[in-house]
Structure 1
């Protein structure tokens, strides 16, 4: 009997080793596919990137692939149905902007990827993966920006969920200047101006030349009657915006701030 046990033990060794080898091969293939998808996205070959990711993980069970699909779907689609189905296109460097192609709306929406459902299922399976919380924050922020999904929730609830998921992600170090801006914006739109200050300031700390964060922070400071700070950030927004329309908006806000400062100074007793 002892000889049989030893013999069976010897049989198990190559099986375990084989499983480890197979897992390593799969991990390497996954890494290669993600790198290739990133390269295709840099080349603006968005449909090719999507097809590669789809083949790599057809059932959306790999968090890393699902996160890359989410990034691609939310940022680079040229058409969507409720953020559940998407259209993509391979573009050349001379092609029109994605925004203009979205507005044209000529592409068939044929790739299924229900973002919220995919991310929520993965979060249930991987509760400690806070990159998924970051992605859910991105999703709800995209919902508000496009006004194209989750109509039953209402805008305030969408903002509350944006805050919920970004806060969880940020507490675990999963944030960048865009997610901090979006968090500040959600607080701002809910009228929670004091709470919006820190996220906007963190966004600017991470990307000093991000004009939209300066503009929104100027607006919040105006609401809180922090006029000097509001004027500083409005001036920076005017300087940093490159397009005429946004520069004009920032200039209009700056004029409002300076007018309020004059009114406040005039109302003080001499």
Structure 2
């Protein structure tokens, strides 16, 4: 089924390819070219154009590689969503507002159907050894928690547990980056499982030493665990790294709380 769907892309993206070359290998090459083009459109902030290209590439959401790129685009760059089942996108210019800012506006744009959870779960059942799908499901549930716009019947704790389940599976098979490790640590932290959050937060910082949010959350965890010196070090680092005054002030407040606890502890008689 994939070859006919890609034939148009072969003609559009590689016009020098003749009919005699429309083999499965040529179709795979066309798909790779189309995925790269979609990625370039995202870099150019042409989010709706990228979505239309991906939709043309796999209308039935049967190809994991295309579905994963659709998921990344949908979760990160939508301007509006209907419970993470339908998404609106816009092509933006350099000086336009970010997609996150546009979510606050009542912008009349078309919605595209993409029931992200159902698509990913069906593909995971079909391709159980594709752990990139676990990573994407972790991203999905973390987005659910952050946006509070879907899966309302699950409850927040269950959303965190599913986030942990899928990210842990992905990480166990080499599918992770500083953001997924941060999200895993954050999920443990929000469930009150502070010791369990230490390793993923630490790994996030190993992968991105200048990521201030991981330093800030790790400072909070160490404060909860009464390891004040480590808490102080990470809070200071967060103050240094945050580029904006609002987040710097948040980190500075936490640092002041840590140092107050340190003074109170030191003042206690032995």
2:168 is matched with which residue?
167
1:9 is matched with which residue?
none
- Cα separation, 1, equivalents of 2:172 and 2:110: 36
Alignment of 1:134-149 (within 5 A): 134-149=135-150
1:225 is matched with which residue?
226
- Cα separation, 2, equivalents of 1:78 and 1:260: 43
1:124 is matched with which residue?
125
1:102 is matched with which residue?
103
Q: Is the 8 A contact 1:134 1:175 kept in 2?
A: yes
Q: Is the 8 A contact 2:77 2:100 kept in 1?
A: no
- Cα separation, 2, equivalents of 1:148 and 1:107: 19
Q: Is the 8 A contact 1:44 1:92 kept in 2?
A: yes
Which TM-score applies when normalising by structure 2?
A: 0.91
**RMSD across aligned C-alpha pairs, in angstroms?**
1.4
Q: What secondary structure, in the 3-state scheme, does the structure 2 residue paired with 1:80 have?
A: strand
Which TM-score applies when normalising by structure 1?
A: 0.91
Offset of 1:22 from its aligned partner?
1.9
Task: Give the total of aligned pairs.
Answer: 252
Gaps of 5+ in 2: 1-20
- Cα separation, 2, equivalents of 1:131 and 1:232: 34
Alignment of 1:106-255 (within 5 A): 106-255=107-256
Q: Which runs of structure 1 show a deviation greater than 4 angstroms over 4 or more consecutive aligned residues?
A: none
Q: What secondary structure, in the 3-state scheme, does the structure 1 residue paired with 2:104 have?
A: helix
Offset of 1:92 from its aligned partner?
0.7
Rg (Cα) greater in structure: 1
Alignment of 1:5-20 (within 5 A): none
- Cα separation, 2, equivalents of 1:144 and 1:105: 22
Cα deviation, 1:90-149, whole Å, max 9, x if unaligned, reads 001111122211111313351000000000000010000000000000000000000000
